[in-house]
Amino acid sequence: MKRGNIFAHFVPLSLLLLCCTLAMGGTTGGKESNDKMGFIGALTCKDCHEAQYNSYAKSIHFKKSIKGPQSQDACETCHGAGAKHVEKGGGRDVDIFTFDKKKDPKEKSARCLTCHQRTPGMDLWEMGAHNRNDVSCDSCHELHAGVTQKPKDPEVCFGCHRDIKIEANKRSHHPILEGKVRCSSCHAPHGSLSKGMVRADDPQQLCYKCHADKRGPAAWEHPPVEEDCQSCHSVHGSNHARLLNERIPQLCQNCHDWSRHPGTPYDNKATFSSRWDCLRCHPSIHGSNSPSGGGMRHVR
């Protein structure tokens, strides 16, 4: 099969489809709220909250063409009816819902889910680690700002995941800081059924997406490779070469002892340790396809 034949037309066709989609007429229309008791309208809010109103006006939530806040009740869609708040002369949290830091995260997210529960991928929000650890939508999204609302990745993630920020900056790392791999390339921040909210049913299948050369199945397998890449690799970053959990030969010797060289201590006088590591002779560590029996030792 000539490389890419199947895919040759997909990208330009996608471009065409993207443009056609944008050029289509019509809107989805807005559904008017049935219960407007106590609603005062966005312009009343603007009288006191001009800065917030102006930022909101530039956001996607202001678009009239979607069934969002603007097409319904603007500020009050998310903050609740404002009449009592105005009657009492305003004030933080006075008869109005705010997205303050101290507010119950689930209560805040529930406001967003009123509209966004239908968004693809949001169906697993309740069982995701973020929801269960008090992360709410506004922890990552600036609700008033921007058209795309996409959080800065990885900066926003690093705000909470300090350990990952440090790991991603170590000598050996995936190009996360360089912007070539994003946290969201591997993780589904809105929830997933997998551990660590990774975007696959098990981590190996996710790794194979970019590292398909390791997918095999090889004639001579290395079982830890097939079961869990993280047996040997620290995926975010490591102080050892090749994102390894430990230096070689120590990492290999943690599993392999046999007569002669596998069980030999390689101190700073040993030629093996000073010039060679295990991979020099056993390079096919992710699995060998050799017809020779040397494949079992991943030599060929």
Partner 1 sequence: MKRMMYLPLAVLMTTPSFASDEVHGDLSIGLRATHFASGDESAKYNEYLDMSDGLFGDANLLFDTENYYMGFSAKNPGLDDQSYELWGQRFGVAKGRIYFDELTHQLSLDALTPATGIGSNYLLTPDAGTPASVPPISSWTPFDYNVERKVFGTEFTVDPQDKPFYFKASMEQQQHDGVMPWGTTNFAGFELPMPVDYTTNNLMVEGGYRSKETTAVLTAGYSVFENDYDLLTISNGTDIEQYSTPADNYSYNFGGRLVQRLPMKSVLALNAGYTRNISEADWRQYSQFFSPSADNDYDGDVEYIRGGAVLTSQWSAMLDTRLFYNYVDRNNASEKITALDDGTTNHLFEYDRHKAGLDANYRLNKANKIASGYEFSYTNRNREDSDTTKDNLIFAQLKNSAIEWMSTSLRLEYMNRSSDTDYSAATLEGDGLIHQYFTPFDNASKDRYKAKVAVDFNLSQGLDLGLSYALVNDQYDATQLGLQDDQRHEIYVDFNALLPAKIRLNTHAGYEYTNSNFDSRRYNPGGAYPAGATNANNYNWSEETTYDFFVIGGSLTVPVRHQLDLVFSVDHQWVDGNIDFARSAAAGAALAPITDADDYYKTQFGAKGIFQATESLSITLGYLFERSNLDEWKYVNYTYTPGSYYLSGAGLDNDYEAHQVYVITKYHF
| Of residues 9-28, those binding partner 1 (CB under 8 A) | 9-24, 27-28
3-state secondary structure at position 265: coil
Do 79 and 97 touch, CB atoms closer than 8 A?
yes
Q: Nearer to partner 1 by C-beta: 68 or 82?
A: 68
Site string for partner 1, 117-156 (x = CB under 8 A): -xxx--xx-xx----x-x------------xx--------
Neighbouring-strand partners of residue 237: 173
The alpha carbon of 175 is separated from its chain's Cα centroid by a whole number of angstroms, namely 15
Q: Nearer to partner 1 by C-beta: 34 or 118?
A: 118
**Would you tell me how many other CB atoms lie within 10 Å of the CB of residue 27?**
12
Site for partner 1 in 39-58 (CB under 8 A): none
Closest to 299 measured CA to CA, from 286, 278, 283: 283
Phi first, then psi, for residue 187 (nearest 5°) are: -115, 145
Q: Nearer to partner 1 by C-beta: 44 or 253?
A: 253
Do 154 and 181 touch, CB atoms closer than 8 A?
no
- Quick one: which of 47, 50, 100, 201 contacts partner 1 (CB under 8 A)? 201
Site for partner 1 in 206-265 (CB under 8 A): 208-210, 212-221, 223-224, 226-228, 231, 239-241, 246-247, 250, 253-260, 263-265
Of the ranges 46-54, 82-90, 92-100, 174-182, which one interacts with partner 1 (CB under 8 A)? 174-182
Report in angstroms how near the CB of residue 139 gets to partner 1 at its nearest: 13
N-terminal to C-terminal alpha carbon distance within the chain: 27
Residue whose token pair is 């006191």: 48
Q: Nearer to partner 1 by C-beta: 55 or 290?
A: 290
Report in angstroms how near the CB of residue 87 gets to partner 1 at its nearest: 26
Report in angstroms how near the CB of residue 141 gets to partner 1 at its nearest: 16
Q: Which residues of 120-153 are buried (b: 16+ CB within 10 A; e: fewer)?
A: eebeebeebebbeeebbbbbbeebbeeeeeebeb
Please name the helix (run of DSSP H) or strand (run of DSSP E) that holds residue 12, with its range, or none.
helix 10-23
Under the binding rule (CB under 8 A), the answer on residue 193 touching partner 1 is yes
Report in angstroms how near the CB of residue 4 gets to partner 1 at its nearest: 6
